Chain A
Amino acid sequence: MKKLLALLLALVMVVSVSAVGSANAFADDVKTTHHKIGIAHYTDAGKAVDAIRAFLDGISGPMNLEFVYATLSTYDEATNLTAMQNLISSGCEGILMSADMGTPAILEECESAGVYVAGFLCDYNQSYWTANEEVFGNEYFLGTVCDGHADIGFYAEDVAAQVIANGYKHIGVVIFPEYAYPNQAAASRVFREKIDEFNATAADADKIEVYEDQVLNFSPLEATYFSNYPEMDCLFSIAAGAGMVYPTMVANGKTNIPLYTSGFEGTDDADNFGSSGNGCFKGTLCSTAEAMVYPLCLMVDKLNGTGYADLPEKAERVDCSALEILSDEDMAKVKERALYYSADFADSFLSGEEVVQLCASYNSDATYANLVDVINHMGVADLK
């Protein structure tokens, strides 16, 4: 009889729990509200996509969110507008997007539809310089988190230090056009300054030569580059090296040249890093998918009609931690523990419950400063 009672009780509990349904309950008192959020990412394949999906899947339960995905283009405004319109039409209340093409038109569209937009893993440089008021001043744009730091001068400094330490003498620098990625040109200047500083004090024989910037027009490096600089013994490709530079090096048998780059893809650059594989890659840089909590929390709060007490008036673009990988140990750590590499939610910096606690609408103690702080503690050193 007791057993039967217990069973009934259990049944009642199950029913009651499931009856709560959309108002998901956990940690006793937090009640989350269901929202449908569009995720528009500039690509539909690759490591970062898997990581993003794993992270969002992981938090969708506790956060009581439903995600709808769409693919954007990094060079066609109309494609992006169409993708956003379709997301709005499918009932998304807010959309996170990672490409900055046609943003003013998209905001106009979202404003009229009453849908909020926030950016992730994108510095909104185009808009930042040309349409700042229109985009960042728009009340439907909640802000964006960069893919790491907007200014990557720190990485150029670190690479310069390594170059000097390893005794490389002829350095090539590859960047994307300045108009698209001004931070890369800036990083190149920082790199040169550091090398010049070293050269000022170094003996003539030790002086390091840095070749002029090779600008890639979003197409792979050409083979003739290596013919132009036959003496080159180190390559710093601030532009995505794994996709644009490394293939050319392989094709021309130049993998003996150490390559420092950015935009970790977790494929060749992981297999040939440091002392593994052909060892071509010596350094790389990326940011984590978990940084998405920044726009996500802002979005959820906005949809719930609340906000942080310390929320800035105007939408911001904020930096997040970069995964700066410069040694075998760094790489081992990333491979072992980073969600970015494993696409396993168990490796996430944040659990679903922790994300809930970051939202002002679910935790009255949550602050904007804390949110920004959290996404700035997602570096290699922070990997548990």
Chain B
Amino acid sequence: MGKTIKNTWFQTHLTDLLSYAGLLLCIVVFSILSKGKLWSAYNLGILVQQTCVYAILAMGAIFIYSMGYMDISLGAQLGVYCLLLILITNASGSLVLGFCSILAIAIVCGLINGYVSVKLGLPSIVTSIFLNAVFGGAQMLIMERLGTNSVSMTTKLKFFKQMPVMLAAIVIIAVISVFLYQFTQLGKHAKGIGANETATSISGVNTTKWKVLAYVFFGFCIAVGALFLTARTNSAGKGTGAGYAMDIMVSLLLGGMPLSGGMRSKISAALVGSFTYVILANGLILSGVNTTLIYIIKAIVFMAVILMTCRKPSGVLPR
């Protein structure tokens, strides 16, 4: 029962088109409502700045979500890495050393994270709750030990705060992600694992190895995200990173990423999603919407998007 080419193409790309349409609609609506403020040079700059960290994290998260895995320890990890970046850089006086250290730590944590998720035989979201407790505890502990609300970096990260640099970072990470995702075993196996782990394993794929590697890349992205998050304010505290795990999840869904992973996963979901997410928040404020109404509007937009992109029209109720 073969279907025509056109039909298949349309079906596979329908969710992409819808999420692009969502972003476009957001832009158009807020351009009008904000009376053009959305497009002011200043606003474009802060949009890039605000999206940068989300986009980098979301692209790393795609590798995890592709496998049908979820992670809520992201925020606490981000917080810990930001703190460590500042502390190590302050102690050694070298940003390079600071960044390399957190990169190394992030990769090791990624390994641990991956093995825990794979080996415990629990839904990954549950294992990530454990890790969230550990990372969150570490973050609190560091702040308790420091005895301060917020630590600042002595060397200013001005360079990483510039809009062209942030834009370049998004592009570079996007290029790396797309390369890994489309043209190496990592991305292909991540999708394969999400679509059918048994079949992938029987095809001779070392699923444990690739799962762990996916987590390692995720860790890499968190470390890079931590650098840019720190650069924004030059400081970090006990609340740094809080809420990011959920924000990323919502962003990915807005970008049309299926939570079950598999072949419909795509890097563009991270970019489209994080931009939609940030423009939504920014646009609502620019349009002068009452703060208490912002939440309900965001919720309704989210429902509308998922009803368009995630609806399974036939068969049993989707799990």
Consider the complex of A and B and state whether they touch directly, i.e. have CB atoms less than 8 Å apart. Answer: yes
Chain A residues whose CB sits within 8 angstroms of the CB of B171 once the complex forms:
none
Closest B residue to A113 by CB, please name it. Answer: B42
Closest B residue to A69 by CB, please name it. Answer: B291
Number of A-B contacts (CB under 8 A): 101
Give Cα A61 to B240, complex, Å. Answer: 39
A77 near B236 with CB under 8 A, answer yes
Let me know if B285 is at the binding interface, CB within 8 A: yes
Give Cα A130 to B146, complex, Å. Answer: 14
A77 near B235 with CB under 8 A, answer yes
A87-B285 CB under 8 A given contacts A69-B291, A217-B140, A217-B144: yes
Chain B residues whose CB sits within 8 angstroms of the CB of A126 once the complex forms:
148-150
Give Cα A101 to B42, complex, Å. Answer: 22
Let me know if B90 is at the binding interface, CB within 8 A: no
| Binding stretch for chain B, among A176-184, A204-212, A248-256 | A176-184
| Binding stretch for chain A, among B43-51, B57-65, B126-134 | B43-51
**Residues of chain A from 94 to 140 with CB closer than 8 A to chain B in the complex:** 101-102, 104-106, 113, 126, 130-131
Let me know if B281 is at the binding interface, CB within 8 A: yes
Give Cα A78 to B232, complex, Å. Answer: 7
B291 near A179 with CB under 8 A, answer no
Distance (whole angstroms) from the CB of A211 to the closest CB of chain B: 21
B235 near A76 with CB under 8 A, answer no
A75-B236 CB under 8 A given contacts A87-B285, A90-B288, A179-B148: no
Give Cα A217 to B238, complex, Å. Answer: 11
Give Cα A178 to B147, complex, Å. Answer: 8
Let me know if A373 is at the binding interface, CB within 8 A: no
B42 near A78 with CB under 8 A, answer no
A179 near B149 with CB under 8 A, answer yes
From B34, B49, B149, B285, contact of A101 by CB (8 A): B149
B285 near A105 with CB under 8 A, answer no
Distance (whole angstroms) from the CB of B84 to the closest CB of chain A: 16
Give Cα A71 to B281, complex, Å. Answer: 12
Distance (whole angstroms) from the CB of B151 to the closest CB of chain A: 9
B232 near A105 with CB under 8 A, answer yes
From A68, A102, A178, A179, contact of B233 by CB (8 A): A102
Give me the 10 closest cross-chain CB pairs, A-B, nearest first.
A75-B239, A76-B239, A77-B233, A105-B233, A179-B147, A102-B233, A85-B46, A86-B285, A89-B43, A90-B286
Query: Can you list 20 A-B pairs, Cβ within 8 angstroms, ordered by A?
Result: A44-B291, A68-B288, A75-B239, A77-B150, A77-B232, A77-B233, A77-B235, A77-B237, A79-B239, A82-B50, A85-B46, A85-B49, A89-B46, A89-B285, A89-B286, A90-B285, A102-B233, A105-B232, A179-B147, A217-B140
Measured CB to CB, the residues of A under 8 A from B are 44, 68-71, 73-82, 85-91, 101-102, 104-106, 113, 126, 130-131, 177-180, 217
